[in-house]
C-alpha cells in the first residue's frame, strides 16, 4: 500500500512532501479480500507519509485496479445546436451532449462507469479533431474510451479508506494515474504501451494519438513470482520477497559465472548457498508468461499505426533486474523503465519518489491536483457570489437597525 502527499507552493508548484509504504495482505489480485487488513495498511501508509510531510490528511484520491476493470471504445453523435443557429458554432454544451451520447451504453447492473475519456471528435466529415470548441458544423461525433469497474469492488475499497479515517474524494484508475506521472505527450501521440507490474495484477494501458485506446488487466504480478520462490525453495513469503528484491534476475546474460546467494534456513537450520542462476529459472518463466499474455492482447488490437513510443514499464516489478531485456525480446518494441521525474510543475522529495513503485501514487496526486484546479474557479465564483449575498443581507440589517433604533 503506497501513499503520497503533495502540497501546492505559493509559486503554484506541486511539491511531494511525504511518501509512505506498507505491506498489505488484505488485497488479492487488486481486489479487497480482507477489510481489516486493508484498512490497517491504508492507515499505516498514510501515517508514514504524514510523519514525513508534517501534515494531517483528511481526504484522498484513491487508485483502483484489479481484474474486474474493463475498457471499451464507444461513439456518440449529436446535431450541433449552437448559440447562434445561423452560424452553428460548437459550444461547451454540444461537447457535453456528444460525450453523454457516447456514454449511453448498456452495462450490467453490477458494474459502474469509472472514466469516460474523449479520444477524438469528428465535425461533419472532418476527422482527427482534438478540440472542436467554436468550430462550425452541423453534425458532431465523438469517440471515447469508457472504463468500467465492479460496483462491489469499488464500494469495498471506499469502505476500507473510510473506516481507516479518511474520505475518498474520487476513484481513479491506477494505470491512468501511472501514465500521468511517467508518460510524455510525445509518447502518447506516437502510441505507447504502459505496463504496470504490480503485486497482484499487471495493468496494461495502450495510448494512441494522445488518448487511451485499450485498458486490460492480467491477474498475475510480483506476488506470484514471490510465491513461486517460496514454494520451490521451501522458505517463508517474506524471505522469498527479500531474496527476489536483492538478487532476483530474469535475464541470463546479466548473471556472473558461479554467482551464489544465501537462502536462510528454516527452523534454526544454517543458511544454504544456491547459484543465482537457480533463482533465474524460477523467476523467468513467470515473467515470460506475463509478457506473452501482454503480446497476445496487443496483437488482437486493430491499431491504425505502429506503437512508435514503445513500452514503458512501471510498478514495483519494473525494478527486477533484466525485466527490460526480457520484455524487449518478447514484445519486439523499445522498452524503458518509467519513474516519476521532476517536471516544471512538480518538485519536493525527488529522491524519495523517483522510483517505479511510486508511479501510481504520484500520478494520483498530479491527477487530483489537475481536477481540483479545474473545479476551483467554479467554486471560487460560487463563494464570491455567496459572500456578496451575505454582505448585502448584513448591510440591509444594519440599515434597518440604524433607522429603527438610532
Q: Are 278 and 252 in contact (CB under 8 A)?
A: no
| Domains of the chain: residue spans and CATH | 70-149 (3.30.1490.110)
Q: Are 33 and 73 in contact (CB under 8 A)?
A: no
Q: What is the mean pLDDT of the segment spanning 17-39?
A: 85
Closest of 196, 190, 272 to residue 239, by C-alpha = 272
2: left (phi over 0), alpha (psi -120 to 50) or beta: beta
pLDDT at 340 over 90: no
DSSP state of 199: S
**Phi and psi at residue 227, to the nearest 5°:** -60, -45
Q: Are 241 and 225 in contact (CB under 8 A)?
A: no
Q: What is the mean pLDDT of the segment spanning 129-154?
A: 92
DSSP state of 84: S
pLDDT of 323 reads: 95
pLDDT at 394 over 60: no
What sign for the dihedral angle of Cα 171, 173, 176, 177? positive
Closest of 342, 162, 122, 138 to residue 130, by C-alpha = 122
- Residues 203-258 have pLDDT tens digits of 999 999 999 999 999 988 988 999 999 999 888 888 899 999 889 999 999 988 77
- Residues 48-78 have pLDDT tens digits of 999 998 989 899 999 998 889 999 999 999 9
Three-state DSSP class for residue 169: strand
Share the mean pLDDT of the chain.
86
d(CA 384, CA 379): 9
The whole model's pTM is what?
A: 0.84
Nine-digit cell string for 43 = 492507515
Q: Are 35 and 163 in contact (CB under 8 A)?
A: yes
- Residues 158-198 have pLDDT tens digits of 998 999 899 999 999 999 999 999 999 999 999 999 999 98
pLDDT of 31 reads: 80
Q: Are 225 and 244 in contact (CB under 8 A)?
A: yes
pLDDT at 89 over 90: no
pLDDT of 12 reads: 77
Kindly indicate the confidence band of residue 381, based on its pLDDT and cuts at 50, 70 and 90.
very low
Kindly indicate the confidence band of residue 15, based on its pLDDT and cuts at 50, 70 and 90.
confident
pLDDT at 115 over 70: yes
**Phi and psi at residue 161, to the nearest 5°:** -65, -40
pLDDT at 41 over 70: yes
Amino acid at each position: 500500500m503506497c501513499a503520497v502527499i503533495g502540497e501546492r507552493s505559493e509559486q503554484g508548484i506541486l511539491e511531494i512532501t511525504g511518501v509512505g509504504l506498507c505491506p498489505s495482505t488484505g488485497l488479492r489480485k487488486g481486489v479487497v479480500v480482507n477489510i481489516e487488513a486493508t484498512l490497517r495498511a491504508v492507515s499505516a501508509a498514510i501515517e508514514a507519509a504524514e510523519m514525513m510531510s508534517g501534515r494531517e490528511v483528511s481526504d484522498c484520491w484513491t487508485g483502483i485496479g484489479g481484474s474486474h476493470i474493463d475498457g471499451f471504445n464507444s461513439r456518440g453523435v449529436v446535431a450541433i445546436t449552437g448559440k447562434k443557429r445561423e452560424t452553428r458554432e460548437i459550444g461547451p454544451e454540444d461537447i457535453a451532449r456528444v460525450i453523454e451520447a457516447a456514454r449511453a451504453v448498456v452495462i450490467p447492473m453490477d458494474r459502474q462507469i469509472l472514466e469516460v475519456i474523449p479520444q477524438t471528435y469528428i465535425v461533419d466529415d472532418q476527422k482527427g479533431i482534438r478540440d472542436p470548441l467554436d468550430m462550425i458544423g452541423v453534425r458532431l461525433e465523438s469517440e471515447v474510451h469508457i472504463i468500467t469497474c465492479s460496483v462491489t469492488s469499488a464500494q469495498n475499497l471506499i469502505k476500507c479508506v473510510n473506516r481507516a479515517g479518511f474520505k475518498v474524494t474520487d476513484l481513479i484508475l491506477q494505470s491512468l494515474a501511472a501514465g500521468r506521472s511517467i508518460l510524455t505527450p510525445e509518447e502518447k501521440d506516437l502510441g505507447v504501451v504502459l505496463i504496470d507490474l504490480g503485486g497482484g495484477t499487471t495493468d496494461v494501458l495502450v495510448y494512441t494519438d494522445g488518448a487511451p485506446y485499450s485498458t486490460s488487466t492480467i491477474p498475475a504480478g510480483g506476488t506470484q513470482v514471490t510465491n513461486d520462490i517460496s514454494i520451490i525453495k521451501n522458505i517463508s513469503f517474506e524471505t522469498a520477497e527479500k531474496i527476489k528484491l536483492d538478487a532476483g534476475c530474469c535475464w541470463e546474460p546479466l548473471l556472473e559465472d558461479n554467482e551464489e546467494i544465501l537462502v536462510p534456513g528454516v527452523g534454526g537450520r544454517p543458511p544454504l548457498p544456491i547459484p543465482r542462476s537457480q533463482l533465474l529459472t524460477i523467476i523467468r518463466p513467470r515473467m515470460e508468461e506475463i509478457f506473452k499474455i501482454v503480446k497476445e492482447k496487443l496483437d488482437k488490437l486493430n491499431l491504425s499505426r505502429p506503437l512508435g513510443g514503445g513500452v514503458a514499464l512501471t510498478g514495483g516489478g519494473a525494478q527486477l533486474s533484466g525485466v527490460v531485456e526480457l520484455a524487449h525480446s518478447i514484445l519486439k518494441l523499445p522498452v524503458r523503465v518509467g519513474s516519476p521525474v521532476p517536471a516544471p510543475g512538480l518538485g519536493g522529495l525527488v529522491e524519495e519518489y523517483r522510483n517505479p513503485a511510486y508511479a501510481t501514487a504520484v500520478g494520483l496526486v498530479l491527477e487530483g491536483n489537475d481536477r481540483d484546479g479545474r473545479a476551483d474557479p467554479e467554486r471560487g465564483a460560487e463563494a464570491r457570489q455567496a459572500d456578496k449575498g451575505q454582505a448585502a443581507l448584513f448591510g440591509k440589517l444594519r440599515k434597518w437597525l440604524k433607522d429603527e433604533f438610532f
